[in-house]
Amino acid sequence: MIVLQHILDAINIGGLYAMMALGIGLIFGIMRLINFAHGEMVMAGGYALGLLATLPAPLAIVLSLAFIIALALLIEQATFRPLRGQDPASLLVASFAVSYFLQNLTVMIFGARPLPFSFAPGLAETIEIAGLRLPLLQFVSLGLVIVALAGVATLLKHTALGIQLRAAAEDVVTARLSGVKVNRVIAFAFVISAVLAWVVSLIYSAQIGQLSPAMGVRPLIIGFVATILGGLGSLPGAALGGFVVGAISVLLDAALPASLRPFREAFLFGLVFVILVMRPEGLLRVRALQERV
């Protein structure tokens, strides 16, 4: 039974990380931007949901989703578009700055102290199935993860824009030569990643039960590990990386002695370090990280 519980945990956490990793990986694939500000998308989604919690749920969902998408597009237009084509390190610094900006803007508006997250409080209830006591949230998040990942896969595989997006992620120059409108595709990628961030924000805020300006940093950092694990720029790799990181962190939680458990993050990033050095192409593929000659 306890094994089953761990497996469920791993899938749940892994799904969350997979969505983070996809959100980061989508944008890296197209514009070589490691989007540090993706964590703040999660934070902004959480705040939007939390503030709209008094409205009827469907309305709150639609409004907060619209807000996140608008925010993502605004950031893309205002900062990343003028910087496009600069070297990845400058882009990384810029996204670092955007992340810091949004975090502290939130401090300015809502203060640095955590706020309670009260959207859909029913999620915290537990149900008992076959001796396992599971919070309802686990099922909801499992469902959301499946729907979101399947949705993204369908979009990318079967819509014209999605195919163009994958083409641009493969090779921007050739894609542009073949008539792909890069601006549209990049905006599309930001919209998808914003929606993924919104799903994460719903699940994550409900899990931790509060909102704080820096709440996006942790999921970002772990999603980041997953992206590297899967090979930066590979989308299936990012999703797989998310689940692998989920499994690893559940394993570390279960296997590490209590005194070493706080060091989980050190182990995860030690893993990043090792992977970068030993296998920079990630688990799946060989291309994106090689600098072209």
Partner 1 sequence: MTRDLSPRATSLVLAFLLIAAVAAVTLVCAQLSGGSQRVATDAMIKLTIVVAMYMFAGNSGVLSFGHISFLGLGAYSAAWLTISPSIKASLMPGLPAWLIPLELHPAAGVIAGGLLAACVAFVFGLPLTRLAGIAASIGTFALLVIFYATFSNWTPVTGGQGSLYGLPIFTTLPIAAGVACLTILAAALYQSSAAGFRLRGSREDPIAAKSVGIDTRRERLVAFVISAFFVGMAGALYAHFLTVVVAGEFYLKLTFITVAMLVIGGMRSLTGAVAGTLFVTLLSELLRQTERGFDLGFVFVGGRLGLQEVGLSAAMLLALIFRPRGITGGRELGGLGTSR
How many CA atoms within 13 Å lie on the side-chain side of 9?
A: 16
Query: Alpha-carbon distance 175 to 268, whole Å?
Result: 35
The residues, ordered by sequence, that sit 6+ positions from 262 with a Cβ below 8 Å of its Cβ are none
Task: Output 32 or 38, the one with its CB closest to partner 1.
Answer: 32
Closest distance of CB 245 from partner 1, Å: 14
Task: Output 62 or 108, the one with its CB closest to partner 1.
Answer: 108
Closest distance of CB 155 from partner 1, Å: 27
Closest distance of CB 84 from partner 1, Å: 11
Task: Output 79 or 210, the one with its CB closest to partner 1.
Answer: 79
Closest distance of CB 233 from partner 1, Å: 11
Mapped onto helix, strand or coil, the DSSP state of residue 249 is helix
Closest distance of CB 132 from partner 1, Å: 31
- Give the footprint of partner 1 on this chain (CB under 8 A): 32, 34, 79, 82-83, 86-90, 92-94, 96-98, 100-101, 103-108, 111-112, 217, 221, 228, 232, 262-266, 269-270, 272-273, 276-277, 280, 289, 291, 293
Query: Alpha-carbon distance 145 to 125, whole Å?
Result: 19
Note whether 48 and 229 are within 8 A (CB).
no
Task: Output 90 or 159, the one with its CB closest to partner 1.
Answer: 90
Q: Which residue has the tokens 């060091």?
A: 263
Task: Output 111 or 143, the one with its CB closest to partner 1.
Answer: 111
Note whether 223 and 24 are within 8 A (CB).
yes
Query: Alpha-carbon distance 11 to 71, whole Å?
Result: 30
